[in-house]
Amino acid sequence: MEHDVDTRLTVHEAVCAERYKSIEQSFGRVEQRFDDGSAKMKRLEYLMYAVMVAVLLGPGAAAIFFKKLLGV
């Protein structure tokens, strides 16, 4: 009886260790995806600011700005 409990406990610990290792690896990937997503959101934020300025100033002012920006 004691041997059976010890065996089951050892197997349970091994399974839990594998699960924990998998969770740690997944967390690293999720953290990287959050960082990548944060950079994308920052670019989108700047693009939205540019669109808001273009809408507020009108299409003529936006066209002049983009011509200067592109060097045309």
CA 42 to chain centre: 12
CA 30 to chain centre: 7
Domain span at residue 51 reads 2-70
Q: What is the CA radius of gyration of the chain?
A: 28
In three-state form (DSSP H/G/I as H, E/B as E, the rest C), the secondary structure along 3-72 is HHHHHHHHHHHHHHHHHHHHHHHHHHHHHHHHHHHHHHHHHHHHHHHHHHHHHHHCHHHHHHHHHHHHCC
Please state the domain count of the chain.
1
Query: Over the stretch 12-70, which tens digit does the pLDDT of each residue have?
Result: 999 999 988 887 777 777 677 777 778 888 889 998 998 888 788 887 887 887 788 88
* Predicted TM-score of the model (pTM): 0.42
Query: Over the stretch 38-51, which tens digit does the pLDDT of each residue have?
Result: 888 888 999 899 88
